[in-house]
Amino acid sequence: MTKKISNFAEYFQKYQESVNDPEGFWGEIAEDYQWHKKWDKVLEWSFTGPKAPDVNWFINGKLNITENIFERHLPERKDQIALVWEPNDPKEDVVNYTYGELYEKVCQFANALKGLGIKKGDRVAIYLPMVPELTIAMLACARIGAIHSIVFAGFSANSLSDRIIDAECNLVITSDGGYRGAKSISLKSIVDDALKSCPTVKHTVVLKRTGDDINFVEGRDIWWDDFIAGVDTKNEAEVMDAEDTLFVLYTSGSTGKPKGVLHTTAGYMIFAEYTFKNVFQYNDGDIYWCTADIGWVTGHTYIVYGPLLAGATSVMFEGVPTWPDAGRFWEIVNKHKVNQFYTAPTAIRALIVHGNEFVTKHDLSSLKVLGTVGEPINEEAWRWYHDVVGKGNCPIVDTWWQTETGGILITPLAGITPTKPSFATLPLPGVQPLLVDNEGNELKGNSVEGNLCIKFPWPGMIRTTYGDHDRCYQTYFSTYKGLYFTGDGAKRDEEGYYRIMGRVDDVINVSGHRLGTAEIEDAINQHPKVNESAVIGYPHEIKGQGIYAYVTCEALSADEADSIENDIRATVNKIIGPIAKPDKIQIVSGLPKTRSGKIMRRILRKIGEGDATNLGDISTLLDPGVVDEIVTGAKVEVKR
Ligand code: WT7
């Protein structure tokens, strides 16, 4: 077994090794896995050639990722708990799965999938709440080589069908409903709605979770329990090529519809486990908890694949941080004696508001490491997390990464890298970041700020966008030739530490969830009374960024004018889902545009930030008058 990095000097040494000899570095780590056949060459790649991006790790290696979770660990860990499931309602029982039990469940479900005719390469959509069956379903797909496409169960029917259609899924795995705090959501009816426009889907498997009545479609729908009844719990894993697809996960960008970010088998596997063990400094016997939803990449890599590949005990939580009260996270930490805790800045900020007592009344002495991910963490939230939750004893790992990166790229190593509030600090071994100016010139040295790029492949990186390789190239590899462009701006300070400043493209980050402004505008524009809209992010105390929509409408009656804001929110809710509902909507008579018709978002952003004093040159606008109107009617206090 490759040893974890255990001190700062060793980090620098490993980092150098990984840059000087990437193939030697990753090749040695890859020796720890079960392979049906070892690779011929560790890496071949091009970010610029005709097939770019063309990235191949562990060429001709053959393996199955689930054998590396189960068969590799079972001799030692059969009776160790793999998954601890904490239900939404604290009165309901916890469910634990040992490695041995989870293995049988995964194999059984894998056999059932095969029985339905699902085979290697088929796409399976999974639309489930945070129940253990979600983990079972995804691993069962990986077992047989089917490609899982997990869709966060907060997305609308329309978003779900877009994703199903794009990936041409032939099966959907869902449940009657799901619980989130005091609410329950009828997932099956959303699936029914989505499937009206998805001809490729032949079946749905439906888990009973809430017991709500569903519309059961004979011939298409199958209850989960019937699906697995009597099915064998032994399964021989499909032998996959290192570069065979493991999963797709849809994410938003600055243009067009969400794209299916595609990850492959061996590189993702090795990167998930390596980053998990080193960043969190997980030790055998520790209890690790990541509060994300498996519908996002954080859940994929740091609830399921990373921890289970490492033979860890991973906690999975169905509920929300504020129900039954704002102490729920800390009650769970105490109940399961959690050692490593990984959450998002938005959750921290939401809990700060409720006061310290919800934290201090629980015994949190088991905690060793605290992690954050998803968006920049402000200094106040960092300090509260450090002082109140961690009692000053737990290092905070501020982990920067993306759906496309598969795993963490820039982060402290817990207890090893000296931290600074709101700095993601240093790149992990194997990760070669650089900053460039808008012309693509590298900004060398320290104390510089620019666009964050990566110049060398790492094993967990995106390989393509599903069904449209050129889109992958255009989105990530064409802005700065020869580099992967992250879409983020960053500073490198006088010590060489990275601080992520946020997106530099038309992507906003709401509560750690990525949304394209164009996508929200498209949804708003579907309201019959809307002519045009422009969406920007503005600073929001809890969500990090809030959604601010400037909208022009057709003539409205008095009644319509009263209800238009709510109607627009309902439209967005229906088309994308509740996470994309604008926080502020301002109906305006016109949008600030250049003479060529381009919306000047820079101006709208300034106004949204409450800083209308310095709007820059507005004389080139088609109609400078609209700016005054917008400033006067702005939904924030505007300093002039
Ligand atoms: C975007 C990626 C990676 C899992 C969750 C989000 C922002 C992520 C940090 C951090 C500052 C961060 C970036 C990035 N982001 N982590 N520690 N500090 N910003 O995944 O939806 O793919 O979003 O989240 O802007 O580009 P995602």
**Mean pLDDT calculated for residue range 16-41:** 98
Radius of gyration over every alpha carbon of the chain, rounded to an integer in angstroms: 24
87 band by pLDDT with thresholds 50, 70 and 90: very high
What is the pLDDT, as a whole number, of residue 639? 46
Distances, alpha carbon 21 to alpha carbons 26, 54, 456, in Å = 9, 20, 12
Element (H, E) at 98: strand 95-98
Contact status, residue 587 vs residue 554, Cβ threshold 8 Å: no
Q: Which of 276, 402, 462, 505 to mutate to test the pocket of ligand 1 (most atoms within 8 A of CB)?
A: 402
Q: Which residue's CA is the closest to the ligand 1 atom numbered 21?
A: 514
Tell whether the model's pLDDT for residue 637 goes beyond 60.
no
Closest Cα to atom 18, ligand 1: which residue?
Answer: 376
Residue 533 is classified by DSSP as E
What average pLDDT score do residues 252-264 get? 93
**Which atom number of ligand 1 is nearest to the Cα of residue 399?**
17
Please give the sequence-ordered ranges of beta strands (E in DSSP) within 143-281, or none if there are none: 147-150, 171-175, 178-180, 183-185, 203-207, 221-223, 240-241, 245-251, 259-264
What distance in angstroms lies between residue 93's CA and the mean position of ligand 1's atoms? Answer: 33
Dist. CA 308–CA 313, nearest whole Å: 7
Atom of ligand 1 nearest to the CA of 297: 4
| d(C-alpha 594, C-alpha 587), whole Å | 20
293: Cβ below 6 Å to ligand 1? no
> Does 369 sit in the ligand 1 pocket, CB within 6 Å?
no
Average pLDDT over residues 287-309: 98
Q: What is the pLDDT of residues 533-584, one digit of tens each?
A: 999 999 999 999 999 999 999 999 999 999 999 999 999 999 999 999 999 9
> What per-residue confidence (pLDDT) applies to 640?
39
Which atom belonging to ligand 1 lies closest to the Cα atom of 292? 5
CA angle 414, 417, 421 (to 5 degrees): 85
At residue 235, what is the residue type? Answer: N
Closest CA to 318 of 428, 178, 513, 119: 178
Nearest CA to ligand 1 atom 3: 402
352-402: pLDDT as tens digits: 999 999 999 999 999 999 999 999 999 999 999 999 999 999 999 999 999
CA-nearest residue for atom 2, ligand 1, is 402
* Ligand 1 close to Cβ of residue 488 (< 6 A): yes
Q: Which amino acid residue places its CA nearest to atom 17 of ligand 1?
A: 400
What per-residue confidence (pLDDT) applies to 597?
85
**Ligand 1 lined by 505 (C-beta under 6 Å):** no
Give 266 Cα–ligand 1 centroid separation in angstroms.
23
The pLDDT of residue 625: 86
Which residue is closest in CA terms to ligand 1's atom 6? 374
Q: Which atom of ligand 1 is nearest to the CA of 503?
A: 25
Mutate which of 488, 504, 517 for ligand 1 pocket (most atoms within 8 A of beta carbon): 488
Edge-to-edge strand ranges of the sheet holding 433-436: 433-436, 448-454, 484-492, 498-503
| Centroid of ligand 1 to alpha carbon of 577 (angstroms) | 20
Over residues 274-299, mean pLDDT: 98
The pLDDT confidence band at residue 463, using thresholds 50, 70 and 90, is very high
Q: Mean pLDDT lowest for which of 117-121, 154-158, 253-257, 368-372?
A: 253-257
DSSP conformational letter for 594: B
In order of start, what are the domains of the chain with their CATH numbers? 1-505 (3.40.50.12780), 510-632 (3.30.300.30)
Q: pLDDT grade, residue 624 (50/70/90)? A: confident
- Region class of 92: left (phi > 0), else alpha (psi between -120 and 50), else beta: beta
Lowest mean pLDDT among 295-309, 321-335, 618-632: 618-632
Cα gap 529→542, rounded to integer Å: 31
| Helix, strand, coil fractions of the chain, as percent rounded to 5 | 30, 25, 45
Positive or negative: CA dihedral 571, 187, 194, 148: positive
Degrees, nearest 5: CA angle 113-118-121: 125
Mean pLDDT, the chain, rounded, equals 96
Residue 251 beta carbon below 6 angstroms from any ligand 1 atom = yes
503 lines ligand 1 (CB under 6 A): yes
pLDDT over 70 for what percent of the chain? 99
pLDDT digits (tens, 9 = 90+) for 496-532: 999 999 999 999 999 999 999 999 999 999 999 999 9
Which residue has tokens 């490759």?
2
* Nearest ligand 1 atom to alpha carbon 424: 17
Which residue minimizes the CA distance to atom 20 of ligand 1? 402
**Ligand 1: does its nearest atom lie under 6 Å from the Cβ of 374?**
yes
**375 CB within 6 A, ligand 1:** yes
Which of 150, 303, 373, 507 for a ligand 1 pocket mutation test, highest count of atoms within 8 Å of Cβ? 373
pLDDT for 529 equals 97
Could you tell me if the CB of 77 is within 6 A of ligand 1?
no
How far CA 101 is from CA of 111, 130, 239, in Å, comes to 15, 19, 22
pLDDT of residue 139: 99
Dist. CA 498 → ligand 1 center (Å):
14
Distance 408 CA to ligand 1 centre (A): 10
pLDDT of residue 318: 98
- 146 Cα to the center of ligand 1, angstroms: 27
**Does the C-beta of 514 come closer than 6 Å to ligand 1?**
yes
Report which protein residue has its CA nearest ligand 1's atom 12.
375
Rounded to whole angstroms, how far apart are CA atoms 301 and 281? Answer: 16
Pocket test for ligand 1, best of 408, 420, 491, 514 (most atoms within 8 A of CB): 514
Query: 587-603 pLDDT, tens per residue?
Result: 999 999 988 888 888 89
- How sure is the predictor about 636, in pLDDT bands with cuts at 50, 70 and 90? low
Burial of 38 (0-12, 13-18, 19+ CB in 10 A): middle
CA of 486 to the centre of ligand 1 (A): 10
β 498-503/396-399 pair status: unpaired
